[in-house]
Structure 1
Amino acid sequence: MYDVIGIGIGPYNLGLAGLIDQTDEVDGIFFDDTPKFEWHPGMLVEKMDLQVPFMADLATFADPKSPYTFMNYLYENNRMFAFYLYQNVKIPRQEYNDYLQWVAGLLDNLSFGSTVVDVLDRKEEEYYTVRVEDKMTGEITDYDTKHIVMATGTEPLVLDGMEHFPNEDVLHSSRYLFEKEQLLKSKDVTVVGSGQSALEIFLDLLEEQERQDMNLTLLTRSGGLFQLDQAKFAQEMFTPEYIDYFHALSEEKRTEALGTLKPLRKGIDPDTLTRLYRKLYHRTAGGEDSNVFIQPMTEVNNIAFENGRYHLDCYQWQEEEPYVHSTKKVVLATGYEPSFPDWFLQNFEDKIEWEEEKQYKVTRDYKLVFKEERSHQFFTATGLTHSHGTGATNLGLAVHRNVHILNAIAGKEVYRNQENPAFQTFSVKDL
């Protein structure tokens, strides 16, 4: 009987596994159906950095002395002086991925190539049975656990009907690097999206293309290419204090608050925007045509294929004008949506409380709210924006979340969370 079983091994559960490894208070094991750890392999674009400082690693905020910190990774891989001279708190995405893979290689409580095919709720006995299939052998094994932590991540959010188009022609941004070579050979490429991923792909294609006759288009639904709000007080929305405040709001007020935080949630890194503008400025020096088209305030509602080209039904929502854009290749940087296994909805949908829009209710310490109280808890790190705010997907708060979960499982403080980190007071109740 394990204390906890983690379903899914991304940065969130990998960090939790590392914290558990360094304590005797909790016993746990983690499963993932992928053959090895990989973090967004299709989007590890060269020269692109993580958007948070290196301290947003798997352990530092809970235990700076942990062997699984990024600083220890640098030390063990003989990169301390190189990083010191690099003089940048943001690290390359490829290095962050390598760091995560390094940690995964050190932990013995991870099981890759293992698909969780079912989770049985032993309500009367107050535990869960997790049924796991070995992808290599097909063998099924049952594991019993007092608690569950679901971190099944997200899946690409795409336009309806695009599934039948060839991947090399119409693709989600998560596959960008796998199809990049074919994209660069095309004469017309269109990127659809308003966020960081869309701009990174657009800039990478612009910098990598060798032919001046390549037409490159960016269609964004947002009102413009607005940068991420990096002001210090704005960034305090990524503190535990703001999560406390946000979670205590009503469902209606939380939805309103998310709307006001768009510059923090959807903004683009200023360095990316500067690089793009400089590239366009240099390319057009001397009156040269850039062959680049950037159109904001545009919704893409449909894609059709005719006469060897893809035709995008577009709508400029401010002018209320429809138009059609024609292209050879399409990259949809349209984001992601929470991914829930079939067994989750089949076994638990009727047992838990839901808010509107079919969003489950979650406690402050990340437990699903069941209609009937129980001692065996089901924690989640997936689909939390509606309940915990814009910081739900922020890597800097992942350790904070894991400490909450681990302490709740242990029934005592195993790791200490940072207190009162914000200079602002968000609720008048705290005055």
Structure 2
Amino acid sequence: MTTYDLLGVGVGPFNLSLAALTDGVEDISAVFLDENPEFSWHPGLLIDGTTLQVPFLADLVTLADPTSRWSFLAYLAEHERLYPFYFTEDFHISRREYDHYCRWAAETLPSCRFGLRVTAVHWDGTDEVFRVETQDVHTARCATFTARNVVLGVGTEPTVPAPMRGLPGKEVFHSSAYVDRAGSLREATDITVLGSGQSGAEVFLDLLRAPQAPEQRLRWLTRSRAFAPMEYSKLGLEHFTPDYTRYFHSLPQHTRDSVLAGQGQLYKAGSAETLAEIHRVIYERGVGGRDPDVTMMPNVAVTDAHRGDGGIELACHHVEQDRTFTVNTHRVVLATGYSAQRPACLDPLADVVDQDASGRYRISADYRVSLDDTVTGGLYVQNAEMHTHGVGAPDLGLGAHRAAVILNAVTGRNVYPLARRSAFTTFGVE
């Protein structure tokens, strides 16, 4: 049996980045496992016309190794799209093309294997390896892999607010399933979108642009204080640099939690361009004195929900006015974000994983989960460390850097030299 130096659980963009950077490193053996039959990146949100919120340089490898054969430019060259892309002069690529780029890498990289569900991860103290149990999703055949290091890249899961849980899937669903459920929305005459992040803005804009059912009314509610754009100034973006990540990790945990609570505008809001287009479309719908049949209301918390005779009844509370009111609607799209969940496959390691007072991983600067001293292998995480590394954890622009840090830690050398300075801002006192 081959004992791998590195085994990745999940093949999303972040572990795919690690797979790409590991490819060609001669003294490292690696394998990456995913239960899905093929690579798929937020398929329910591949809405026509939507783009990444980061430049194309935030691909799998470029910000760690711009010479890599797995760069977005290399993908364009292989698909004979370099000149069309050059003339497009657009720094922000479509979500659909980013998904196709990642599929190209996942299908070509020899270390990526799909259709294998990881069911359990054990530590074998005798042989000093992780034993990773898997099941083939097609044949149900079980197999065990061994590895000296494991990297969790299982992604995040849709967050459904407590009042909405248990409601019918046709009438109420998360925005992650929007493309698949769009057909059921076309027949509804009253649609409510909850959440003012980029997903909520994109869903609302797509509904505004779609052919209207007779007398269709659209509603957009959010707990946020305003439909304000995400912070996108040049210096504001420096919160998504390795410099800020290192600074944030150096803070005490109670300070980290306090800082994160006030940084929503850095990563939770919609883009200024999307919000401007929403305004433009609503303006056009009102030409000639027509009623646009659109309601946009911030400062609203949904406190309860149930299925009524005419659809879904939402109990709402206007936070600033401290007033309650009821909304009756036919469909609810929950653009309520995502959260990291501890995968069940880690249950066998529960007694050796160190946790903070809130039950979260304790994670070192090199993304290694703190384990009991009896475990000599490394357990690393990708996009499960916002509480220790800051707002950049889910950002694609830091994916290649984080993968390079992990690979350097696993090998014990600088396979990929990392820049000593990445921001003009000095975030703390030396």
TM-score normalised per structure 1 = 0.97
How far 1:338 sits from its partner (Å)? Answer: 1.0
C-alpha distance in 1 between matches for 2:341 and 2:96: 24
Aligned to 1:384: 385
Unaligned runs of 5+ in 1: none
C-alpha distance in 2 between matches for 1:179 and 1:51: 24
Deviates more, 1:33-42 or 1:102-111: 102-111
1:221-232 matches, within 5 Å, as: 221-232=223-234
Aligned to 1:137: 139
C-alpha distance in 2 between matches for 1:224 and 1:183: 26
Aligned to 1:160: 162
C-alpha distance in 1 between matches for 2:319 and 2:260: 22
User: Does residue 88 in structure 1 map to residue 84 in structure 2?
Assistant: no
How far 1:351 sits from its partner (Å)? Answer: 1.4
Question: Given residue 280 of structure 2, which amino acid in structure 1 is its aligned partner?
Answer: R
Contact 1:16 1:402 (C-alpha < 8 Å) held by counterparts: yes
Aligned to 1:428: 429
Deviates more, 1:257-266 or 1:104-113: 257-266
Aligned to 1:343: 345
C-alpha distance in 1 between matches for 2:263 and 2:228: 13
How far 1:73 sits from its partner (Å)? Answer: 0.7
User: Does residue 360 in structure 1 map to residue 368 in structure 2?
Assistant: no
How far 1:166 sits from its partner (Å)? Answer: 2.9
How far 1:395 sits from its partner (Å)? Answer: 0.2
Contact 1:192 1:331 (C-alpha < 8 Å) held by counterparts: yes
Contact 1:119 1:131 (C-alpha < 8 Å) held by counterparts: yes
What do residues 142-189 of structure 1 show as CA deviations (whole Å, max 9, x unaligned)? Answer: 111100001111111113364543322110101100010110111010
What do residues 203-261 of structure 1 show as CA deviations (whole Å, max 9, x unaligned)? Answer: 10000133462100001010011101111111111110111100010011101211332
C-alpha distance in 2 between matches for 1:174 and 1:301: 22
Question: Given residue 336 of structure 1, which amino acid in structure 2 is its aligned partner?
Answer: Y
How far 1:373 sits from its partner (Å)? Answer: 5.9
Aligned to 1:56: 58
Secondary structure (helix, strand or coil) at the match of 1:241 reads helix
Question: Given residue 218 of structure 2, which amino acid in structure 1 is its aligned partner?
Answer: L
Pairs aligned (count)? 428
C-alpha distance in 1 between matches for 2:91 and 2:357: 40
Aligned to 2:302: 300
How far 1:69 sits from its partner (Å)? Answer: 0.3
Out of 258, 266, 269, the residue aligned to residue 264 of structure 1 is: 266
1:56-135 matches, within 5 Å, as: 56-135=58-137
Contact 2:172 2:332 (C-alpha < 8 Å) held by counterparts: yes
Deviates more, 1:74-83 or 1:370-379: 370-379
How far 1:286 sits from its partner (Å)? Answer: 2.2
Question: Given residue 360 of structure 2, which amino acid in structure 1 is its aligned partner?
Answer: Q
How far 1:308 sits from its partner (Å)? Answer: 2.8
Unaligned runs of 5+ in 2: none
Aligned to 2:251: 249
Contact 1:37 1:104 (C-alpha < 8 Å) held by counterparts: yes
C-alpha distance in 2 between matches for 1:168 and 1:78: 41
Q: Percent identity of the aligned residues?
A: 36
Aligned to 2:333: 331
What do residues 353-407 of structure 1 show as CA deviations (whole Å, max 9, x unaligned)? Answer: 2123211100000000123264311001142110000000110000110001001
Secondary structure (helix, strand or coil) at the match of 1:358 reads coil
Deviates more, 1:116-125 or 1:37-46: 116-125
Aligned to 1:370: 371
Contact 1:26 1:409 (C-alpha < 8 Å) held by counterparts: no
C-alpha distance in 2 between matches for 1:319 and 1:165: 28
Distance 1:396 1:387, change over 3 A: same
1:303-314 matches, within 5 Å, as: 303-314=305-316
How far 1:71 sits from its partner (Å)? Answer: 0.4
Deviates more, 1:284-293 or 1:206-215: 206-215
Secondary structure (helix, strand or coil) at the match of 2:224 reads coil
TM-score normalised per structure 2 = 0.97
